[in-house]
Structure 1
């Protein structure tokens, strides 16, 4: 008798349409589940976004290439992954590195201001690689570091660094190393940078007559572009070329340079 009574009670509570308590419980579950899932999705989305932004801020940041100044190495629309830890612990950029830097005070006049709201929005999207970088951010190749004498051009039309001609195989095939002659010594703590598409690059050469002489302070370097992450068909690592392997350190260079 007891078993039968319990069985009947279970049937009554679970049978469709036979009990107000069972039907109300199902109705409450139907209403609550989407609400909780929505909240959970929002919290998860915010947490993931914050984690990505923090990772982008301190470790690796996507950087969208806005121009053809680094062709053929980098093409318009490429997303490079910038390693922000590359120059930690006293390490500094080396000749041949492709770097992203803040050009404020060197390539761009001080005092350029952007609407705070639009700047924050653009900054967040740029940090995710979904928008072009700020107009003050640049990507170029390091050709000279502190103490180097960089000259263009030698009798063979090549750039010389510390008296050694550099065979720049990464240049755009339609370009020469430079149509603008220069002979400079890079101050300590700064870099001389140039684009790979020399005829379509505004780089250190274009700022020779300005304060700073086109040099980029090392502390303005955001990081080193180590990989092309997008589009998928162009995924590759950006290795430092061996073009500068024979260039001696400035202290070993015979004679002296002049600016």
Structure 2
């Protein structure tokens, strides 16, 4: 086989492999804002795995997920994409991090009711307090988002999740999109993210290299899951 033909074949195989990996397994993204500080900083490069959500797999409380804009969630600064043709092409096949997405942490899943806040400033999920102090940026009066310390959301509709940014004072997340008071034309469902829009779960911070780490679900969410399950069993006839 001539050198040019062999080179072309290898290029086609590389692009095909990259597309398969991006579509079904792993995809690279960059953090578009400071809404996930302190753990993830603007312009960090992350890897998202899709295997966990194959088939009947669904997001769990505590997962950091990447998802498409449910509708007017992205700010102009966050809604960025590669500007030149080469970068666009490489991004489409998974060889460059993608833009135009959101990154948040799942707090509530279908059926959950989320309230803010208890006497210690903690968000409650189905009545169980969630101590977020180990992974959120200090938010002052309570471990609450930028809309304040008194609100309620849910029950989360089937096939949806309720998400918050770890930088609670600077994250236009599910709480920010809640209908408050008599807001004209507000759609209550806008506060929840359809699971069908979720690309996958963040599993690694890969750049900058000196901050490389595996992304793990905080252990406090396992305690939360157990407490909610115990409450459900206690109320079951």
**Corresponding position of 1:252:** 232
More helix by share: 1
* RMSD, aligned α-carbons: 3.1
User: SS of the residue aligned with 1:42?
Assistant: helix
Aligned with residue 69 of structure 1, among 35, 50, 56:
35
**Corresponding position of 1:215:** 192
**Corresponding position of 1:240:** 217
Q: Give the superposition deviation at 1:231.
A: 2.5
Residues 218 and 132 from structure 1, CA distance in 2 versus in 1: closer, same or farther, beyond 3 angstroms? closer
Using the alignment, how far apart are the partners of 1:123 and 1:202 within structure 2?
Answer: 30
Using the alignment, how far apart are the partners of 1:197 and 1:234 within structure 2?
Answer: 19
Aligned with residue 143 of structure 1, among 107, 112, 120:
107
**Corresponding position of 1:206:** 176
Q: Give the superposition deviation at 1:194.
A: 0.6
Q: Give the superposition deviation at 1:122.
A: 3.1
TM-score, with normalisation over the residues of structure 1? 0.72
1:55 has 2:25 as partner: no
Residues 242 and 192 from structure 1, CA distance in 2 versus in 1: closer, same or farther, beyond 3 angstroms? same
Q: Give the superposition deviation at 1:203.
A: 0.5
Whether the 8 Å CA contact 1:148–1:249 is kept in 2: the answer is no
Whether the 8 Å CA contact 1:65–1:74 is kept in 2: the answer is yes
Whether the 8 Å CA contact 1:227–1:238 is kept in 2: the answer is yes
Query: Which sections of structure 1, spanning at least 5 residues, go unmatched?
Result: 1-32, 109-116
Q: Give the superposition deviation at 1:250.
A: 9.5
Aligned residues: 214
User: SS of the residue aligned with 2:200?
Assistant: strand
User: SS of the residue aligned with 1:205?
Assistant: coil
Whether the 8 Å CA contact 2:27–2:97 is kept in 1: the answer is no
Q: Give the superposition deviation at 1:53.
A: 2.0
**Corresponding position of 1:163:** 127
Using the alignment, how far apart are the partners of 2:230 and 2:109 within structure 1?
Answer: 9
Whether the 8 Å CA contact 1:64–1:126 is kept in 2: the answer is no
User: SS of the residue aligned with 1:233?
Assistant: helix
Whether the 8 Å CA contact 1:154–1:165 is kept in 2: the answer is yes
